[in-house]
Amino acid sequence: MEQPPDPPPPSARTRTAGTGPPGRPLLRHRPFALLCGEQIASSVGRQVTTLALALLAVTRLDAGPFGVSALMALSYLPGALLSPFAGVLADRARLRTLTVNLTVLQVLVVGSVPLAAALGRLALPQLYVVATASGALTSMLAVALQAALPRIVHPGQLLSANSALTGARTTGQIGGPALGGVLVGLTGASTALLAACTAYGIESLLLLALPATLNTPAQHGRRATESRTAALRAGLDVVRGERVLRRQVLAGAGFNLGSGAADALFVLYATRDLGLPAWQLGTVYAAFSGATVLGVLLAGRFAATIGLARATRICAVVAALSIFLIPGASLGPGFPALLAYQFLFGLAATVWAISMTTTQQLITPPELQGRVAGVLQAALIGTVPIGALGGGALAAWLGNVPVLTGGAAVALVAAACLWWP
């Protein structure tokens, strides 16, 4: 079987893009250390927000399977629609100013929920609006930060940098679900969102401390005045022209279709079908974060030993197989089964994500980083809301377990396509 090649080394043009000296330890490079802190704060905010919104919908507003699935779908849908345009904006805008503004808006959006709850006016439509707006801001920030990283570190350190940033996110993911579960249990889900707003506020301050050089647009001159259509086409041409990227997009989009259905039903399934209390649900999410730590530690050595392409293929299949543990939890003690799922999925998905992001950044020219990241993000997450809405609709008809099993099967078939000739 013909194997997809590993990505080529960065071009001479790309080698000069990063500002971090190749010999300096990453955590001693102040801009990169700020990014790590931002990732911790951002991760805590997102974890608490996701858990609190889902629990509000289930416990306080009595949302059913489709209602909870719609909440998740709406958090991903803006990313699928806006990411390519966010990529154009990231290549042309003042990146530091853009990222700070996005996090400040996140505080206002998420903070509207506890305000409405305090006034006694919280309703399910508001949660849908908040999930949509928060998802849009999150996806735009992710594209902007992917475009910023190659301008901060040396290309030879990108694999280590992506591993370290994933580790920083994991630190927030470990504390975020536990913090969210404790706050929900003690003060209620709406009040717990105030902690998320605090985390987003800290994130904006860290981004504000990034170098002013990031406010110099990556794209300037004649290319900066080209039409949006031409700018989007330039990013799409990079993805279409690289076989490795095309293969990863196909596998990732199909995988997210199946896993999107499973993720959308996860909280409802765990709380209503399996009867997990809030602290166990938080612990299950924390197990994912612990596995991510291990994935961060192994990703660089694993990918360097067998190659980025092989690391991607192996981890994609392992991540897909682990999803079968979710419906399998209905056959016995649910808590241990979901812990095992989160551990295996977290480990494999972390190495997959690091390898794929590093491949993308090494292949892409500096002035196109934002647009290529936007095109890939749109393609990869565009199937998540489809899977979430489809899974929710089918679960209302067939039940949760058959849909969770079908979602795992779809994810496995998609991951297996990385092994095709």
Q: Which amino acid is at 130?
A: V
The number of C-alpha atoms within 13 Å of 250 and in the hemisphere containing its C-beta is: 14
**Mean pLDDT (whole number) for 140-158:** 83
* pLDDT score, position 22: 55
> Is 355 a residue whose pLDDT tops 90?
no
pLDDT higher than 60, residue 153: yes
pLDDT at 243 over 50: yes
The predicted-structure confidence for 356-401, as pLDDT tens digits, reads as follows 888 888 888 777 777 888 888 788 877 877 887 788 788 878 888 8
Is residue 74 within 8 A of residue 132, CB to CB? The reply is yes
| DSSP code per residue over 229-294 | HHHHHHHHHHHHH-HHHHHHHHHHHHHHHHHHHHHHHHHHIIIIIS---HHHHHHHHHHHHHHHHH
DSSP assigned state of 59: I
Highest-pLDDT range among 8-12, 92-96, 108-112, 311-315 = 108-112
- Find the mean pLDDT for residues 265-289: 80
Burial zone of 267 (CB within 10 Å; 0-12 exposed, 13-18 middle, 19+ buried): buried
Place 152 in a pLDDT band, splitting at 50, 70 and 90.
confident
How would residue 226 be classed by pLDDT, with cut points 50, 70 and 90? low
pLDDT value at 255 more than 80:
yes
- Predicted pLDDT of residue 4: 35
* Plot region of 171 (φ>0 → left; ψ -120 to 50 → alpha; else → beta): alpha
307: buried, middle or exposed (CB in 10 Å: 19+, 13-18, 0-12)? middle
How many CA within 13 A on the CB side of residue 268? 29
pLDDT digits (tens, 9 = 90+) for 31-81: 888 988 998 888 888 888 887 888 788 777 777 767 777 777 787 777 777
- Residues 123-127: contacts with CB under 8 Å, at least 24 apart: 123/61, 124/57, 124/61, 124/63, 124/67, 127/53, 127/56, 127/57, 127/61, 127/71
What are the b/e assignments for 5-42, b being 16+ CB within 10 Å?
ebbeebeeebeebbbbeeeeebeebebbbbbbbbbbbb
Which pLDDT belongs to residue 19?
54
Predicted local distance difference test score (pLDDT) of residue 178: 62
Other beta carbons within 10 Å of 321:
16
When pLDDT is cut at 50, 70 and 90, the band that residue 203 belongs to is very high
User: Average pLDDT of the chain?
Assistant: 80
- Does 124 have pLDDT greater than 80? yes
Tokens (6 digits) for 330: 């209905």
> 200: pLDDT confidence band, cut at 50, 70 and 90?
very high
Q: What is the mean pLDDT of residues 14-38?
A: 68
pLDDT score for 264: 78
- The pLDDT of residue 213 is 80
Check if the beta carbon of residue 391 is closer than 8 Å to that of residue 285: no
